[in-house]
Structure 1
């Protein structure tokens, strides 16, 4: 009984929100106003039960869930990602209405497949005059090199996206098609995850259709189209600067695909391999998000540095599946909308179930005249997506928005090259509720729907999609553009929906402990992530000691000038800051500030180390936890005092180290990350020991060495008679039980290299293993009283040699011979 007042309150809030919204929304052109109240009230009751009457809190809550998932995006030209803008109010679509959309999407995907098979085959459509030759040959996305080639798997299309707009009277029409590398499915998935965490009870109340079966069908469809029964599938990304890279990383993790870049792949004897720490491993299919013109510099753009030489030869031989096939982008041209209705009737015997927006291709003289006469009432755009001189910024624009000068320029170029232009009707969109300033407001929206080819070759349609919401109330699609907000899309119905997930069933007998293939580039990144983090932490420790933040509570007076001078020398030797004019407090503080915070000045500061670690974290999203990425992305501390800032950074480093030690599975990926840490920490210990631990070292020097090795407490617990050089060196350098000692690091390095894969089966140690064994033996036989500059120099050189050997063996980037001895092909 205690829950009744809360439920009654949620229902009251929901009813008031809906009534208030209906009072000011366009009754004939809004999805809520045109729908039955029941599903919308159920959704708003779930929202009100969570946040009461505070809609602003609902928006903040769903944004926080999106951030926890790691959703983000990048605007082209911006170096940093932006948080994902997600509305807490999903778009609700009845299941009966959705089935009509679903049939239209499947019809359209099949029609595209038929047209593509003809264009790259017998070209009968052009020969019979059903399609103008200029519509094909004039497209920059028609790849003549692929004419006559049957794609691996037998299909050109495996994944398509279609943008839909809902008109004021409820009809759905196609606004655009996306075939080359459709984006947004990952964002649709992330939107569903974030909204499900916010509106957890909505699934049961509305019988919401789930996303997992669609993604499972797509993954299984790719596998079924491959030649091998147990294929290896990758998602080919352009890299971290691509605007949708976070989405790609999320999809790769969710689907269990390898996230690879062009540099990860190699073509050899008409097969494609991924460079891994275990050698070259055969890859059977690539879900590409890379522009086809950059796929292979030998086949297309010779200037491409992100493609794979020889990839198209392997594709032509049928040894690698590319989804989607290169060249499918020819059908993305808006000009095709003028011909699809007739083509659909001729090829399928039926009209388009989902009509296009009315389009006139100016390559036909009569249609060009029609466009010129009705210019003010049409949207004028490039026929092939770009390449026009008569449009402002080469973008589609409403004819009524053209200035006199722009109108003259357009008409002039239209006369010169009419085939480059299309005219399209101005589409007015339906609106949906969005949380505004503490109230629901109506905003126009578009819906991107996705279809994927399943294992039976048939199309599966994602029940829902990616909803984009306009910032302004103007309902014209041309004005809305890309939209500023997104929303989950909920397909609801009367029938109960069975819980489905891509996670294995609880009683599944198929157990797998092998985490899968680790590409060499990923191993390289994780290795250097560990090194940059450890390097930043070591430099931070020097700065803290230099500023007098020793943990030695009994230290009394400040450090002596000789010790401070040595600390200053270490900072300068690290390239973190210039030498100060003097050892006065102000000079030291300025040096510390530069070594801490300098950016874009060439200094290897703590901030620069953090930036490098953050950069690597951004390209390793599919391998790192959301908590780890969040810590790497955290802004640099801005506390008022220098020591407060160093303390904040130290705690952050400790948190990252804790996540690495306690939350990363003991896979090869973790081993490379830990290898980087151990090698960098070993170098720091050796340099600190050479600076503060040689004969003649003062008490300040020895105390500083313990501080830098984080071993003050261990020393005081073990020795009660004060500081002495030999015991300090033994603890810092040679004690295998001290987790901060050199001996401990060397032991871990050796263990990691023994556990990592080898290329040969002769039982002999590889170069990196032999180097680690020799280093381990050297440290093991050394006594503290014999540690000197020569010994420390030898260890440092061996650490550099070992790091180079690890890079040569595991980080298979660049132009190394693909037929190198022992380079396993599997």
Structure 2
């Protein structure tokens, strides 16, 4: 018989003390917890963990991961099409404020040193002239961009935002492992880690006086704005697109910072000014925080094959009309080979040693250093000098020399003799460990720390208090073995001083109230329009499949439909490209036919295919969609139960998506395009159904099927008690403006949306898309059920396609032609 637990077993302090004692009894050398096991901060953290998870550390890990997934955090491995959930540990890394001050000072010194070096390399090049930097180290780097030579960036700074990877040695010293300057990633993950851990350990903030991230992000945003020429600048975050490994992080940062998330195709340069293509014309962009490869940034200046860049962007930068963070070309200092020269450069340029030393590095482009690397080959880490894979290291990943054997060793040494400048030797770094939850227990794993620094409005550097820790999958403490790690952890900087509850949100009385939601890029409008169309198209196809499953194939569903009605249903699916025509209308052939229309993955425009297209749009619109909507779009295709069960599951999902868009999306221009796409696609589906089932030769089965496809059976039965007749059915589904599934209802809403969307001229005349919608309204409003024959319905269908094309031409601006149209360029 169960007994009540003793009070000590329910005490969070008891659990915390036991966890720490059990963990440190294993004598982990250099572990951050065991070196400070009597620090009350660690005890407080584990007490908070025990308060929410009891004695179950596995539950704590699941809870933190669930919070991360609720936030929408994810990432993609290069080469994979599916996103993975961002792995966050429930145990943060704790760093005292005194220790953090030393780290921050080292990061600030490093950032200033790199700014000085970059200004020289792209300016007078005195450091190369004096022999302090070998010319081959600069000219041989693929990240030195010659078109940037002599160009002074707007504001005068090359660097605005950097990331630095640090390793903590077993004795507690911190050293720099790598610099990230081209497109530093991870600040959004640090923010999301903080959100997930804060939700898991709610009381930690007040108990430890945890320093906040908001002042750092505010300083960065203000710093970019201060370098722009306009008082209220428009700032964009330039992303390579949804297939970028860190796209979800970029979307989260854009939403958090209030930046416009843009791709290269969204932007255009006219007369040395940068514009974003919007539904209201071209609007100025004053600054870009780029997350793209700088070589892809401008096909006229760098790689001419780039399809994601903006032609003329460097000219706009040179004219001082757009700030680019960071400036193209700064990646030349990311090269591991530069680590061999930074200590000497720091002393020559600042008069001080590096506060955060580099790992010892020898560039093989120098005779003495190359000889040293070859002599100590087995005790060194051998890596590419410029971050690009040389012939001797085809994987491009640094490897311990002692582990390179046989033919691979011979090939590397041979290539090192041919092209020594492509290689570096580095000391093998051993890392400290920290506690991680694995199999419901605390285990020690090595970690690295990524720290971020940003330039504020006064030009000074601000260091994010924390960053995020990467945690290795295996106990091996060598940094080269750890690689990218398999888990991440929040980094908590704490101290005795109370922390002001700073938020990135401005004071409530300092913001001018407005109801205009802001700029809507044309690409986003295009995405929302087609998201609406795909969701409606998938639902329409599923309706046809469900009618066939419920009335023609399922033996328990009652009387089967007549062969002519079934043939017309088949024709709707075949005409839409959902499946090839079945060999016959026998039950087995129809079952295979509907299975193809619902589940085919290739060749056919099945429900699964349509869902995949909608999901792709959702993944590219994370900055504007709710997490619930993204979660529904990302949900896997159902596989359990029979076909009718799976169809029902999908139908409920479509209904949930429709409800979210109808009840939870603000009535912004983005929502109008989404609903416009739905209305266009639904109008097309209704028109086709009317042509197939609503003609004078139609049978009772045809009319009943038409009511099913239009979800109007109940409405009809409530209105007409005498049975099914063609004229009232057609009137209800085609012409009744009060029926939300009718053709008239769709066209009225299409016209309403187009009247509300922006126009380019102020002459009061209809634009082409508005005129086409008005023509459709006139046709439907003057028609009668008896007059709706195939010819009229065919004209309406063609008119809807023409209207869709007109909407695309007007609002989804692509290519150079729209840039020359009258009225397109705005402020």
Measured after TM superposition, the shift of residue 28 of structure 1 is 3.3
Matching residue of 2:202: 200
Contact 2:704–2:724, Cα closer than 8 Å, also in 1 = yes
Matching residue of 1:473: 475
More deviation, 113-122/541-550: 541-550
Tell me, in whole angstroms, the C-alpha distance in 1 between the residues paired with 2:125 and 2:793.
Answer: 73
> For residues 729-784 of structure 1, what are the alpha-carbon distances to aligned partners after superposition, in whole Å with 9 as ceiling and x for unaligned?
11101111111111111111111101100011111110101111111111111111
* Pair 1:50–1:336, CA change in 2 (3 A): same
Tell me, in whole angstroms, the C-alpha distance in 1 between the residues paired with 2:101 and 2:660.
Answer: 46
* Pair 1:86–1:284, CA change in 2 (3 A): same
Contact 2:531–2:614, Cα closer than 8 Å, also in 1 = yes
Matching residue of 2:30: 28
* Pair 1:690–1:189, CA change in 2 (3 A): same
Measured after TM superposition, the shift of residue 507 of structure 1 is 4.8
Match among 558, 561, 567 for residue 565 of structure 1: 567
Matching residue of 2:360: 358
Matching residue of 2:188: 186
> For residues 101-156 of structure 1, what are the alpha-carbon distances to aligned partners after superposition, in whole Å with 9 as ceiling and x for unaligned?
00000000000000000111111111111111111111111111111110112100
Match among 502, 505, 530 for residue 503 of structure 1: 505
> For residues 642-683 of structure 1, what are the alpha-carbon distances to aligned partners after superposition, in whole Å with 9 as ceiling and x for unaligned?
100000000000000000000000000000000000000000
Matching residue of 1:778: 779
> For residues 598-642 of structure 1, what are the alpha-carbon distances to aligned partners after superposition, in whole Å with 9 as ceiling and x for unaligned?
002x10000000000000001011110110000000000112211
Contact 2:389–2:395, Cα closer than 8 Å, also in 1 = no
Match among 48, 51, 54 for residue 53 of structure 2: 51
Aligned ranges 1:46-445 → 2 under 5 Å: 46-445=48-447
Measured after TM superposition, the shift of residue 556 of structure 1 is 5.3
> For residues 150-179 of structure 1, what are the alpha-carbon distances to aligned partners after superposition, in whole Å with 9 as ceiling and x for unaligned?
011210000000000000000000000000
Measured after TM superposition, the shift of residue 583 of structure 1 is 1.5
Does the alignment pair 1:646 with 2:656?
no
Measured after TM superposition, the shift of residue 320 of structure 1 is 0.7
Tell me, in whole angstroms, the C-alpha distance in 2 between the residues paired with 1:497 and 1:5.
Answer: 34
Measured after TM superposition, the shift of residue 37 of structure 1 is 3.1
Measured after TM superposition, the shift of residue 20 of structure 1 is 0.5
* Pair 1:804–1:7, CA change in 2 (3 A): farther
Contact 1:7–1:49, Cα closer than 8 Å, also in 2 = no
Contact 2:143–2:332, Cα closer than 8 Å, also in 1 = yes
Contact 1:29–1:167, Cα closer than 8 Å, also in 2 = no
Question: Which structure 1 segments of 5+ residues have no match?
Answer: none
Matching residue of 2:668: 667
Matching residue of 1:811: 812
Measured after TM superposition, the shift of residue 555 of structure 1 is 9.5
- Secondary structure, aligned partner of 1:491: strand
Contact 1:67–1:84, Cα closer than 8 Å, also in 2 = yes
Tell me, in whole angstroms, the C-alpha distance in 1 between the residues paired with 2:578 and 2:476.
Answer: 53
Match among 595, 598, 601 for residue 596 of structure 1: 598
RMSD over aligned Cα atoms: 1.8
Matching residue of 2:730: 729
Contact 2:31–2:444, Cα closer than 8 Å, also in 1 = no
Matching residue of 1:487: 489
Tell me, in whole angstroms, the C-alpha distance in 1 between the residues paired with 2:423 and 2:561.
Answer: 76
Tell me, in whole angstroms, the C-alpha distance in 2 between the residues paired with 1:255 and 1:398.
Answer: 41
* Pair 1:531–1:3, CA change in 2 (3 A): farther
* Pair 1:6–1:660, CA change in 2 (3 A): farther
Matching residue of 2:523: 521
* Pair 1:549–1:102, CA change in 2 (3 A): farther
Tell me, in whole angstroms, the C-alpha distance in 2 between the residues paired with 1:556 and 1:390.
Answer: 71
Tell me, in whole angstroms, the C-alpha distance in 2 between the residues paired with 1:397 and 1:101.
Answer: 28
Matching residue of 1:543: 545
Contact 1:599–1:608, Cα closer than 8 Å, also in 2 = yes
Question: Which structure 2 segments of 5+ residues have no match?
Answer: none
More deviation, 684-693/395-404: 395-404
Measured after TM superposition, the shift of residue 389 of structure 1 is 1.5
* Pair 1:525–1:35, CA change in 2 (3 A): same
Tell me, in whole angstroms, the C-alpha distance in 2 between the residues paired with 1:504 and 1:125.
Answer: 44
Tell me, in whole angstroms, the C-alpha distance in 2 between the residues paired with 1:418 and 1:591.
Answer: 63
- Secondary structure, aligned partner of 1:456: coil
> For residues 186-221 of structure 1, what are the alpha-carbon distances to aligned partners after superposition, in whole Å with 9 as ceiling and x for unaligned?
111111111111111110111111111111111111
Contact 2:76–2:83, Cα closer than 8 Å, also in 1 = yes
> For residues 660-718 of structure 1, what are the alpha-carbon distances to aligned partners after superposition, in whole Å with 9 as ceiling and x for unaligned?
00000000000000000000000000000110101021111111101000011111111
Aligned ranges 1:573-592 → 2 under 5 Å: 573-592=575-594
Tell me, in whole angstroms, the C-alpha distance in 1 between the residues paired with 2:542 and 2:783.
Answer: 29
Say how many residue pairs are matched: 824
> For residues 476-518 of structure 1, what are the alpha-carbon distances to aligned partners after superposition, in whole Å with 9 as ceiling and x for unaligned?
0011011011111111111111111123434555323221110
Tell me, in whole angstroms, the C-alpha distance in 2 between the residues paired with 1:485 and 1:814.
Answer: 42
* Pair 1:508–1:284, CA change in 2 (3 A): closer
Contact 1:29–1:429, Cα closer than 8 Å, also in 2 = no
Matching residue of 1:719: 720
More deviation, 81-90/603-612: 81-90
- Secondary structure, aligned partner of 1:806: helix
- Secondary structure, aligned partner of 1:488: strand
What is the TM-score when the length of structure 1 is the normalising length? 0.98
* Pair 1:229–1:701, CA change in 2 (3 A): same
- Secondary structure, aligned partner of 2:87: coil
> For residues 358-378 of structure 1, what are the alpha-carbon distances to aligned partners after superposition, in whole Å with 9 as ceiling and x for unaligned?
111111211111111111111
Contact 2:532–2:677, Cα closer than 8 Å, also in 1 = yes
Contact 1:386–1:395, Cα closer than 8 Å, also in 2 = no
Tell me, in whole angstroms, the C-alpha distance in 2 between the residues paired with 1:780 and 1:11.
Answer: 74
Tell me, in whole angstroms, the C-alpha distance in 2 between the residues paired with 1:796 and 1:220.
Answer: 51
Tell me, in whole angstroms, the C-alpha distance in 2 between the residues paired with 1:576 and 1:32.
Answer: 62
- Secondary structure, aligned partner of 1:631: helix
More deviation, 468-477/38-47: 38-47
Tell me, in whole angstroms, the C-alpha distance in 2 between the residues paired with 1:208 and 1:5.
Answer: 30
More deviation, 717-726/403-412: 403-412
What is the TM-score when the length of structure 2 is the normalising length? 0.98
Tell me, in whole angstroms, the C-alpha distance in 1 between the residues paired with 2:208 and 2:120.
Answer: 44
> For residues 565-609 of structure 1, what are the alpha-carbon distances to aligned partners after superposition, in whole Å with 9 as ceiling and x for unaligned?
111111111111111122222211111110000002x10000000
Matching residue of 1:821: 822
Measured after TM superposition, the shift of residue 224 of structure 1 is 0.6
